[in-house]
């Protein structure tokens, strides 16, 4: 436990501790405003045309905000020193070796996926997906005010991605991953000699498939079947759902692909942690 | 009493010395408020007037402005740090030590730079979160949201390139781990799937980033130049575009 406290109070981990308080605070702040809008309705036009002069009203706010932030930064800089360890030595690898804290969600994904997926393809898709958001979200409501009722799906997806898959994984990677990137609870001592039995098997093995070509084909079917869920749902619902008709096929394919890829991470986590599955699809060229 | 004070004030403001410094008075009129913004080089990115809810902290969280403030702090402290730092493997670490122990306020300077950088990463993430929660990326702000996503990446990259510069164990191994994944880039990384024959560890995408097969002296120089010149320039250009588009897309978002 002492060593966990030392870890949490490490100078470079201050931002993560700050995030642990900031995210719940801002969630609460936005939730309160969203509930107010959902109960009382969207603010009327009259309230919006109420304009104020930038000078002095906005400039004053900016000035006060800047002073408060500089004060916090000043106190932070006076009381906590930036870390400086021993000189770099390529022959002395620390265990664990960690990336900077804001990349630890990506490093955490390396547990569940190979580097080419966790380190390259998924980050690329996160960026592409973020940029695509305004072009695939055709819901005109909920623009410029907090609401839950008017866009529950968009909010749920984004909050799940940002809070669970980015912030929580970052916190786990920083505080709960020790030597060998093994999981250590706060009260456990970091043991560099911890022996972890490698009992993971591939999904095909679990289904009794032993030869490689069949396993390869099986993995392909599983992954292709997973991504086919999107088009299947479209064909099934397209006639009855006005939303899907408005969305259109191209946007739908993009959304379902990105959405299923995002869900693949928690699914793989459950498979790994619950069933000791190493890979879903093993092929001669890559493993997923 | 009040009359007396008024008389004294007029006496001072009508004096020759006062009038030589301040060319005209400050009237409390809307025209004056508008000119104050329009005629000021630092303020003219602002419109003369904004809707009242744009002043509301509960709505904006101030996070975009804080991100920009943090960028300015890192720029100023960064320039000062550059006076004491040489980006070579021989000197980098001892220069940081010298800065910490011998330069007056050197430690404070380094602390401010590092914590402002961390603060910028936090505030830029919260800014994105707020913009999403209020649906502010919707028409006509789609493009500016995209610019913002790129700026988020630029912020990460600025922080990451700066992470290497102290040249200590923390810096060296964090960057080693962070760049190791580039080996596995499909096609372009030598350990990635579908890498063609000519791609080796001496010419793949990781080599381009590190200027070597491991993190070494040439990586330090490369990250230094990226950190101090190339990426800040890119960030400045994108920020100018981002702020300009906020204004052109109708100012801060609100229900229409």
Give pLDDT tens digits for B102-128: 999 999 999 999 999 999 999 999 999
- Residue B219 CA to residue B74 CA, distance in Å, equals 22
Instruction: Report d(CA B72, CA B241) in Å as an integer.
Output: 17
| Preferred mutation among A49, A68, A100, A129 to probe B, highest tally of B CBs within 10 A | A100
Closest Cα in chain B, distance from residue A176 (Å): 17
What part of A 203-232 touches B (C-beta under 8 Å)?
none
Banded pLDDT at B256 (limits 50, 70, 90): low
Tell me the chain A residues in contact with residue B223 when contact means C-beta distances shorter than 8 Å.
none
Contacts of A134 in chain B (CB under 8 A): 137-139, 141-142, 145-146
Angstrom distance (rounded) from CA A8 to CA A60: 37
- Which one of A140, A174, A194 terminates a domain? A194
Contact B119 A145 (CB under 8 A): no
- The reply to whether A152 and A232 lie within a common domain is no
pLDDT tens by residue, A67-125: 999 999 999 999 999 999 999 999 999 999 999 999 999 999 999 999 999 999 999 99
Same domain, A37 and A138: yes
Q: How far apart are CA B193 and CA A248, in angstroms?
A: 33
- Residues A53, A10 share a domain: yes
Yes or no, beta carbons of B173 and A93 under 8 Å apart = yes
Is the domain of A188 the same as that of A201?
A: no
Instruction: Please write the tens of the pLDDT for every residue from A62-71.
Output: 999 999 999 9
- Per-residue pLDDT tens digits for B196-218: 888 999 999 999 999 999 999 99
Task: Say if A41 falls within a structural domain.
Answer: yes
Whole-model pTM over 0.90: yes
Q: Which of residues 129-148 of A touch B (CB under 8 A)?
A: 130-131, 133-135, 137, 140-147
Asked if residue A171 and residue A219 are part of one domain, the reply reads no
User: Has residue A266 got a pLDDT over 70?
Assistant: yes
Residue B178: list chain A partners with CB under 8 A: 99-100, 103
Question: Cβ–Cβ of B50/A121 closer than 8 Å?
Answer: no
B138: chain A residues, CB-CB within 8 Å: 134, 137, 140, 142-143
The pLDDT score that the predictor gives to residue A268 is: 96
pLDDT of B90 strictly over 90? yes
Residues B158 and B232 sit within 8 Å (Cβ to Cβ)? yes
Does residue A91 lie in a domain region?
no
Contact A119 B169 (CB under 8 A): no
Average pLDDT, chain A: 93
Which residues are CB-contacts of B124 (< 8 A; sequence separation ≥ 6)? Answer: B63, B67, B151, B152, B155
Last residue of a domain, one of A194, A221, A238: A194
How far, CA to CA in Å, does B245 sit from each of A234, A270, B140, B142?
36, 43, 10, 10
Report yes or no: A81 at the B interface, CB cutoff 8 Å.
Answer: yes
The residue-averaged pLDDT of B142-154 equals 97
Q: Which of A62, A143, A155 sits opposite B138 (nearest CB)?
A: A143
Is B184 close to A119, i.e. CB distance below 8 A?
A: yes
**Same domain, residue pair A153 and A227:** no
Q: What is the mean pLDDT of residues A35-43?
A: 87
Contact B102, B59 (CB under 8 A): no
CB contact under 8 A, A55 and B37: yes
Determine, for residues A53 and B118 on separate chains, whether the beta-carbon distance falls below 8 Å. no
Q: How far apart are CA B138 and CA A141, in angstroms?
A: 9
What part of A 167-196 touches B (C-beta under 8 Å)? none
The answer as to whether A92 is a domain residue is: no
Task: Determine the average pLDDT of the residues in A23-38.
Answer: 95
A window 87-106, beta carbon within 8 A of B: 87-90, 92-94, 97-100, 102-103, 106
Indicate whether A70 and A17 sit together in one domain: yes
Instruction: Give the residue among A196, A165, A175, A195 at the shortest CA–CA distance from A266.
Output: A165
Q: Give domain status of residue A144, yes or no.
A: yes
Beta-bridge partners for B49: A53
Which candidate from A30, A80, A119 shows the least CB-CB separation from B133? A30
In order of A13, A100, B81, the CA distances from B162 in angstroms are: 17, 11, 12
| Same-domain status, A14 and A44 | yes
CA–CA separation, A181 and B144 (whole Å) = 38
Residue A228 lies in a domain: yes
Task: Tell me if A121 and B192 make a contact (CB, 8 A cut-off).
Answer: no
Final residue before a domain boundary, out of A194, A220, A246: A194
Q: Give the residue from A144, A147, A180 with the most B CB atoms within 10 Å of its CB, the best one to mutate.
A: A144
For residue A185, what are the contacts with CB-CB under 8 A and spacing of at least 6? A176
Cα-Cα end-to-end distance for chain A: 36
Question: Domain count of chain A?
Answer: 2
Q: Tell me, yes or no, whether A141 and A40 share the same domain.
A: yes
Tokens of A98: 């960690």
Containing structural domain, residue A233 = 197-288
Q: How many CA atoms lie within 13 A of B86 on its CB side?
A: 7
Structural domain contains residue A93: no
CB atoms within 10 A of CB A235: 8
- Considering only alpha carbons, which residue of chain B is nearest residue A93? B173
CB pairs under 8 A between A and B: 256
pLDDT at A1: 79
- pLDDT tens, position by position, A110-165: 999 999 999 999 999 999 999 999 999 999 999 989 999 999 999 999 999 999 99
Is A33 close to B59, i.e. CB distance below 8 A?
Answer: yes
Q: Give the least confident one: A29-38, A162-171, B50-59, B158-167.
A: B50-59
Is B248 within 8 Å of B141 (Cβ atoms)?
Answer: no
- Look up the ipTM and state it: 0.94
Same-domain status, A53 and A80: yes
Q: What is the DSSP letter of B44?
A: T
Q: Which helix (H) or strand (E) holds A51?
A: strand A51-53
Residue B189: partners with Cβ closer than 8 Å, 6 or more residues away: A116, A120, B182, B183, B195, B199, B204, B205, B206
Mutation for B interface: A134, A139, A156, most B CBs within 10 A: A134
If you measure CA to CA, which chain A residue comes closest to B63?
A65
Query: Is the pLDDT assigned to residue B25 strictly greater than 80?
Result: no
Instruction: Tell me, yes or no, whether A74 and A142 share the same domain.
Output: yes
Identify the top-confidence range among A238-247, B233-242, B245-254: B233-242
Shortest Cα distance, chain B CAs vs residue A195, angstroms? 23
Which chain A residues touch B53 with a CB distance below 8 Å? 43, 47-48
Say if CB A126 and CB B190 are below 8 A apart: no
pLDDT of A212-232, one tens digit each?
999 999 999 999 999 999 999
Q: Do B108 and A77 touch (CB under 8 A)?
A: yes
Would you state the pLDDT for residue A108? 94
Q: Enumerate domains of chain B plus CATH numbers.
A: 1-49 (no CATH), 57-248 (1.20.810.10)
Rg (CA), chain B: 25
Choose the closest CB to B185 out of A26, A120, A130.
A120
| pLDDT (0 to 100) of residue B116 | 97
What was the pLDDT predicted at B36?
A: 87
CA distance A210 to A254: 35
Give yes or no: residues A288 and A250 share one domain: yes
CB-CB under 8 Å, B169 with A86:
yes
Residues A99 and B174: beta-carbon distance below 8 Å? yes
Helix (H) or strand (E) holding B49: strand B49-51
Shortest Cα distance, chain A CAs vs residue B14, angstroms: 25
| B123: enclosing H helix or E strand | helix B106-133
Q: What is residue A45's predicted lDDT score, i.e. its pLDDT?
A: 61
pLDDT interval class at B2 (50, 70, 90): confident
For residue B2, give Cα distances in angstroms to B6, B11, B110, B111.
6, 14, 52, 50
Query: Residue B71: its chain A contacts at CB < 8 A?
Result: none
Helix (H) or strand (E) holding A53: strand A51-53
Lowest mean pLDDT among B10-19, B113-122, B162-171: B10-19
């Amino acid at each position: 436990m002492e060593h966990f406290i030392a870890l949490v109070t490490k100078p470079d981990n201050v931002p993560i501790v700050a995030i642990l308080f900031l995210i719940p605070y801002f969630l609460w702040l936005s939730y309160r405003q969203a509930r107010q809008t959902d109960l009382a309705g969207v603010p009327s036009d009259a309230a919006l045309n109420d304009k104020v002069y930038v000078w002095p009203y906005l400039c004053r706010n900016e000035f006060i905000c800047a002073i408060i932030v500089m004060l916090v930064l000043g106190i932070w800089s006076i009381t906590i020193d930036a870390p400086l360890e021993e000189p770099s030595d390529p022959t002395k690898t620390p265990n664990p070796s960690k990336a900077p804290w804001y990349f630890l969600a990506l490093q955490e994904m390396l547990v569940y996926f190979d580097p080419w997926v966790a380190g390259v393809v998924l980050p690329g898709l996160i960026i592409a997906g973020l940029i695509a958001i305004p072009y695939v979200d055709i819901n005109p409501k909920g623009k410029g005010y907090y609401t839950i009722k008017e866009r529950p799906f968009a909010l749920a997806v984004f909050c799940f991605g940002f809070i669970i898959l980015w912030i929580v994984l970052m916190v786990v990677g920083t505080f709960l991953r020790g030597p060998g990137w093994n999981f250590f609870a706060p009260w456990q001592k970091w043991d560099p000699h911890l022996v972890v039995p490698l009992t993971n098997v591939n999904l095909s093995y679990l289904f009794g498939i032993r030869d490689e070509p069949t396993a390869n084909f099986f993995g392909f079917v599983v992954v292709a079947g997973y991504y086919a869920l999107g088009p299947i749902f479209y064909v099934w619902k397209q006639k009855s759902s006005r939303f899907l008709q408005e969305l259109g096929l191209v946007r739908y394919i993009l959304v379902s692909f990105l959405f299923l890829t995002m869900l693949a991470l928690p699914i793989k986590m459950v498979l790994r942690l619950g069933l000791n599955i190493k890979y879903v699809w093993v092929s001669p060229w890559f493993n997923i | 009493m009040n009359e007396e004070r008024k008389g004294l004030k007029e006496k001072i403001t009508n004096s020759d010395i006062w009038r030589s410094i301040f060319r005209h008075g400050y009237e409390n009129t809307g025209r004056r408020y508008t000119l104050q913004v329009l005629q000021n080089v630092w303020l003219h990115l602002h419109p003369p007037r904004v809707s009242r809810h744009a002043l509301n902290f509960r709505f904006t969280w101030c996070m975009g402005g804080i991100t920009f403030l943090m960028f300015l702090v890192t720029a100023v402290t960064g320039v000062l740090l550059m006076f004491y730092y040489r980006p070579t493997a021989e000197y980098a670490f001892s220069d940081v030590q010298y800065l910490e122990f011998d330069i007056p306020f050197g430690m404070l300077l380094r602390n401010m730079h590092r914590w402002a950088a961390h603060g910028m990463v936090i505030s830029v993430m919260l800014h994105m979160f707020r913009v999403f929660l209020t649906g502010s990326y919707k028409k006509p702000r789609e493009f500016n949201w995209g610019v913002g996503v790129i700026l988020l990446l630029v912020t990460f990259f600025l922080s990451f390139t700066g992470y290497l510069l102290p040249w200590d164990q923390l810096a060296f191994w964090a960057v080693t781990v962070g760049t190791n994944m580039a080996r596995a880039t499909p096609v372009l990384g030598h350990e990635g799937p579908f890498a063609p024959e000519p791609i080796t560890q001496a010419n793949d995408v990781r080599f381009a980033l590190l200027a070597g097969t491991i993190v070494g002296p040439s990586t330090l120089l490369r990250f230094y130049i990226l950190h101090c010149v190339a990426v800040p320039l890119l960030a400045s250009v994108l920020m100018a575009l981002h702020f300009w588009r906020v204004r052109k897309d109708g100012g801060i978002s609100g229900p229409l």
